[in-house]
Amino acid sequence: MTDTGQLVFDLPHLPALGAEDFLVSGSNQAATEIVNRWPRWPQSVVVVVAPPHAGKTHLANVWRLKSGAVRLEANALSESDVAALSPGSSAVVEDIQAGVADERALFHLLNLARENKLSILMTSRVAPGELSIRLPDLRSRLRALPLVAIAPPDTALLKAVLVKHFSDRQLIVEPPTIGYIALRMERSMEAAATIVAEIDRVALASQRRVTRALAAEVLRAGEDGSAAAS
């Protein structure tokens, strides 16, 4: 075999979704406090609003583990899902911006939350008042719900997330390199995961340590690829 190139095995890693792995900064502080305040919520239903890849699914999972909540998808919600909930139980309803399969089922769920003291945490990319809801009573109810927002990650959070992703891959990276990446990357949780994965791939393929120079190469390659695609 004459090919001397490094063989790279793309092995899976296991990103954790537990409370101990959720990283808190100013961008998600208010939403984190709501989760920590449960079950002493002022109302039985709370909506967490965040742009894509800002961490709302992770936060919802932290609350689900804490509360023992059932996880439901808004675009698959049915009356049978609602009927299966017992008084005093909890549910996470994910991604209501993706559409509600049965608007009457969701309206019924909100009524049960008030009558049977259910705890409901809903997630959405947009505020409930901006959703296209046909049922007038549901539209009114959603607009009245308390909401907390998660902003795009700030620099402090991006640095912490980068460290976590590198740690998940058993890579130790110097703080100046972390800072260099955080200041130049797209400000999203998804971008952090993508960049770390690519840096890991390039480091393995070239048998190099993760340094600022290697990170700069990966970032430049990503910019060149984006420019070519546009």
Instruction: Report the 3 state secondary structure along 168-202.
Output: HCCCCCCHHHHHHHHHHCCCCHHHHHHHHHHHHHH
45 has a pLDDT exceeding 90: yes
**What per-residue confidence (pLDDT) applies to 196?**
96
Across the beta sheet with 147-149, the strand order is: 70-73, 90-94, 119-124, 45-49, 147-149
DSSP for 77-135 reads --HHHHHTPPTT-EEEEE-GGG--S-HHHHHHHHHHHHHTT-EEEEEESS-GGGS----
3 has a pLDDT exceeding 50: no
Residue 149 DSSP one-character state: E
**What per-residue confidence (pLDDT) applies to 21?**
72
pLDDT digits over 99-123, tens only?
Answer: 999 999 999 999 999 899 899 999 9
Domains and CATH numbers, the chain: 28-149 (3.40.50.300), 155-229 (1.10.8.60)
**What per-residue confidence (pLDDT) applies to 13?**
46
**What per-residue confidence (pLDDT) applies to 78?**
97
State if pTM tops 0.85.
no
Tell me the mean pLDDT in the region 68-96: 96
Q: What is the mean pLDDT of the chain?
A: 88
